[in-house]
Amino acid sequence: MRLTVRQGLWTGGPDVDPPPLAAVLEVSGAVLEWTVDEPDSLPRITLTDLDAADWLWRLVGAEGHARLLEADSTTPLEVDLDHEALAPLRRLALGHWMSRWWPASARDGIVALDGAVLGAELAVLTAALEEYFAEDTFDSDVDGLLAGLAGLTSYTADPRVADLLDACAELGDLPDIGTTPTRWRADFALVAGGDPRLDPSAALASGTDSVSWTAVPPGVFDAAEDTVTWSVAMTGPAGEGLVARVRAALTDPAAGHPLSAGIRVALRSGDVAAAGELGADGDATLPLALTESAAWNHDWAATSIRVGVGEGETRETRDRVRRFVRTRLAAPPADAFVAEMLAADDDF
């Protein structure tokens, strides 16, 4: 790998696609990044604090580490990477990526990962790599990951989970673990059987749009395409008010989601615009400054709905993520997480 100084920091490796395709791991004094669906690629390494990265010799060898410490920042440096040492770091980065970007969807048939099980696996992996976390980083909170086990109410009888809990018990005190025998798949089947779209029968116009994953908090909305439905209708007798009703499908429509409340939603259709906020049920009502006759004469074909903030990613990017996840579920690789294998078992 060729390391050069960019914006004052030693950096090397290939360019990495932006989220949601980037798996990122913050270790002491550095940030490592991979493109998730390029398993054989080298990481992008950015050394944010060379002195704190005292583990670096494990990746580039003692000689390479020494040369880097003594290097002139104006001269690029070539180092050899230890791929065996990189493998568990990439797996940990991938696990954190799954906790943030796994595209759970009842409509697409992609089963959600059990967050408590995945968190437990990340805790065990992080502890095994403690030499890379001499200083606190965003991804080094083992205690926080173990605390998530309080939400474990499924799979407690599965031997894979039992082994995982034994490993976690060696790291510290575990919270009380729920014993209610629930299986997310049962809820998943019920949710998948319904269609939360708005009834367009009484609408002047209606349509669908998609949620950009990077514009909203993770785990709130169903990750399929065209899960945002909208309609334009009168709220009462003619002339009393015209509104746009928007509904964004949640990961669990029956329960709602507290993080949905307050998320910005905006409608734009030519020169017609409206904005508001979603409720905890994923619904919003947006008043329109438009008469009924103007609404009937308006061309609603190019209407777009934006949920959240920012421009978001493309549909092609989301499709790449879904392909990557489906491939792992269909044939779990050697580095598959227990949480993935449980999801694959439920994917029938």
User: Which DSSP string do the residues of 42-110 spell out, in sequence order?
Assistant: PPEEEES-TTT-TTTHHHHHHHHHHHHHH--TTS-EE----HHHHHHHHHHHHHHHHHHH---BTTTTB
| CB proximity list for 187: less than 8 A, separation 6 or greater | 252, 254
Give percent of the chain with pLDDT exceeding 90.
Answer: 74
Of 163, 139, 108, the C-alpha closest to 338 is 163
Find the range with the poorest average confidence among 26-35, 145-154, 199-208: 199-208
pLDDT at position 228 over 90: yes
Residue 201 has pLDDT above 70, yes or no: no
Omega of the bond leading into 253 within 30 degrees of 0 (cis):
no
Q: How confident is the model over 65-88, as a mean pLDDT?
A: 93
pLDDT in tens, 13-23: 999 999 999 99
Fill in the DSSP letter of residue 236.
Answer: S
Buried-exposed string 68-102: b where 16+ CB fall within 10 A, e elsewhere: beeeeeeeebebebeeebbeebbbbbbbbbbbebb
pLDDT-derived band at 72 (thresholds 50, 70, 90) equals confident
283: confidence class by pLDDT, cuts 50, 70, 90: very high
Residue found under tokens 């409720």: 279
